[in-house]
Amino acid sequence: MSSTTPNNPAQAAAPSVAAQVGALRTQLTSPGAPFELAPVTLKDGSTASAYRNAFRTLPDVLNAGRAHGPMEFLIFGDDRWTFDRFFAAADAAASRLQKQYGLRAGDRVAIAMRNRPEWAVALVAAALLGAVPVPLNSFGLNSELMSNLEDTTPTWLICDSDRFERVGGSLGELKMVPKVVVVDGEGGDVRWSDLIAPGHDGYDAPELLPDDRALILFTSGATSRAKGVESNQRAVCQAIFNIDYISAVAAMSSPEAVGRIMARKLQPTTLSAVPLFHVSGLHAQLLISLRHGRRLVFVHRWDPQSAIETIRKENVTQFNGAPSMVQQLIAQPGFELPENSGNLSGLGFGGAGLHQRLITDVLEKFPGRMSGIGFGLTESNGVCAACSGRLFEEHPAASGALSPIIDIRIAGVNGEALPAGESGEVWLRGVSLMQGYWGQPKATEAVMQDGWFRTGDIGVIDANGVLTIVDRIKDVINRSGEKIAAVEVESCLMQHDALEEAAVFSMPHEVTGEQVVAVVVGKPGAEVSEGALREFVSQRLAAYKVPNLIVVRGQPLPRNPAGKMLKSNLRKLVDELNGTAV
């Protein structure tokens, strides 16, 4: 048989990118490899896989950033910080907090301000002392901020003037009143300028263990009072190292895109619009940039038009944001022109419930880049699945390839493990999981089962270990016994050219038990009607999936600071207004 015969094994189709990623995982995690895995015993006595070469404690991660010295690190308007300037401020604050004011390892330090260099200084100063940073929701009003402070009893509150104005008059109501530092104004117990002034005598670094407490991050609190997620040193360090693993896999599976990035010879620079008080902003942007000598450009508030100006002016190479932010950015006229976004190596966004139109727009307007998605939670320190570059192009609707340090179970209704290809609740177990919700053992027990964390997300894993998130359990609509994924109806609606946003959810119905309800926002100047949208959906989905009610809203849909839709707010609005325009 001729060597040119198609049946020749040498002429067989190249393996899929997902299969290549699976092979890279084996290569990178094998003994002696950079991401070698080793068993570790966790605090509860269980065993988990961990990266052997990861840092042991958060101060170890932070101190690695000192090597970048004179390189530029943080940009906030006209204020520009090198790594040297940053560590001088952090060391001074750590010294005085410890030696003048008695801050000890294990004490909690609340941080409440918008993204700015002082936020990062406060976090690093606290962490270097083994104290526990407690970032608060900077968008929160008095009640939310005060509940966070009440729950975690910090000894210090480091904030900006806006946050101080919101809570300053209420702090005396707390059982433990924290000392206050205001970084950009008057008030408080200690002046920020005095705290970071030169001339200190250093600090005594504590001896920390991997099981010691490192961080408390609050969940988004979309439907209830936010809970403080407590993580130890090991969990945070493993999560940071896992981002390096994801980057290595992406680079090795997308060499052409990486070659183009390297040819530009630019310092990696991220436009940071995601709040630092969330794991996506803290871990994947601030801490990774600090460790690897990258620049972070902070924006005071998100505006897509000014974002393009910043991307051009600062030679931004990466933007990661909520899906709504990415959609708004790429919709800006001229975004795809080389003079505006030519130095962007990629766009990144969360990997759950993305609309197909957003995926299509990114791939069409931004081809051949290292764009990608990821899926993780505060409770897992962001670790679960991710993909970018060619893997994202091959699996654009997926949430990514699984991380080596997390075990995943697609669970049936009784908790049984389901085989590949079947959908069920996503359960996670591994070294990066939280220790629990701070001071809330019952809430912790409610989401943990035999060491597994129940995410509340519905997902499916294919034969190559690629995870796709289908929906949230609470967003599955049961209409006369038929199960409807809200995200499927949302994605269908978002194919309509006149729509800017859409949210789909269930509401009670006398006959069908639950009904499909949609709230939509039209593009500026577009005419949108309920009848036309119902007809549009009926031509594309089964009749039982067509919304019973579609409400056209004249303003953006409500979202929390992480970009997640606040469907509970929409349910209340629809219920109160009985389907009239909102």
Residue linked to tokens 């795809």: 336
pLDDT tens figures, 314-363: 999 999 987 778 888 988 888 888 898 889 998 998 644 567 778 888 88
Say how far apart CA 247 and CA 3 lie, in whole Å.
39
CATH top-level class of 17-55+235-267+329-472: alpha beta
Q: Find which of 8-22, 229-243, 390-404, 542-556 is predicted with most confidence, using mean pLDDT.
A: 229-243
Pairing of strands 72-76, 295-298: parallel
**Start-end of CATH 3.40.50.12780 domains in the chain:** 17-55+235-267+329-472
If you count them, how many residues does the chain have?
Answer: 582
Range in 168-172, 378-382, 396-400 with the lowest mean pLDDT: 396-400
Write down the pLDDT at residue 219: 84
Q: Do 545 and 534 contact (CB within 8 A), yes or no?
A: no
Query: Which residues contact residue 431 at a Cβ distance below 8 angstroms, ignoring those fewer than 6 apart?
Result: 40, 42, 48, 49, 50, 234, 235, 238, 405
For range 523-549, the mean pLDDT: 91
For range 283-300, the mean pLDDT: 96
Write down the pLDDT at residue 367: 86
Say how far apart CA 535 and CA 546 lie, in whole Å.
9
Report the percentage of the chain scoring pLDDT > 70: 94
Query: Which residues contact residue 554 at a Cβ distance below 8 angstroms, ignoring those fewer than 6 apart?
Result: 521, 581, 582
Q: Do 453 and 429 contact (CB within 8 A), yes or no?
A: yes
Is residue 244 scored above 80 in pLDDT? Answer: yes
Say how far apart CA 8 and CA 219 lie, in whole Å.
55
Q: Which residues of 154-165 are buried (b: 16+ CB within 10 A; e: fewer)?
A: bbbbbbbbebbe
Rg value, the chain, Cα = 24
Is residue 14 scored above 80 in pLDDT? Answer: no
For range 400-407, the mean pLDDT: 96
Give first-to-last CA distance, the chain, whole Å.
71
**Tokens coding 241:** 């190292």
> pLDDT class for 509, splitting at 50, 70, 90?
confident
For range 430-443, the mean pLDDT: 96
Write down the pLDDT at residue 223: 43
More confident residue, 4 or 301: 301
pLDDT tens figures, 79-103: 999 999 999 999 999 999 999 999 9
> pLDDT class for 139, splitting at 50, 70, 90?
confident
Is residue 121 scored above 70 in pLDDT? Answer: yes
pLDDT tens figures, 34-82: 999 999 999 889 999 999 999 999 999 999 999 999 999 999 999 999 9
Is residue 2 scored above 80 in pLDDT? Answer: no
For range 502-513, the mean pLDDT: 86
Write down the pLDDT at residue 214: 98
Q: Do 200 and 92 contact (CB within 8 A), yes or no?
A: yes
The model's pTM is 0.86
Write down the pLDDT at residue 424: 94
Query: Which residues contact residue 197 at a Cβ distance below 8 angstroms, ignoring those fewer than 6 apart?
Result: 92
Architecture in CATH for domain 480-577: 2-Layer Sandwich (3.30)
List of long-range contacts for 297-302, beta carbons under 8 Å, 24+ apart: 297/75, 297/76, 297/269, 297/270, 297/271, 297/272, 298/74, 298/75, 298/76, 298/115, 298/116, 298/117, 298/272, 299/115, 299/271, 299/272, 299/273, 300/76, 300/77, 300/114, 300/115, 300/116, 301/114, 302/273
Phi, psi at residue 87, to the nearest 5°?
-70, -30
Q: Do 243 and 526 contact (CB within 8 A), yes or no?
A: no
**Start-end of CATH 3.30.300.30 domains in the chain:** 480-577
> pLDDT class for 222, splitting at 50, 70, 90?
very low
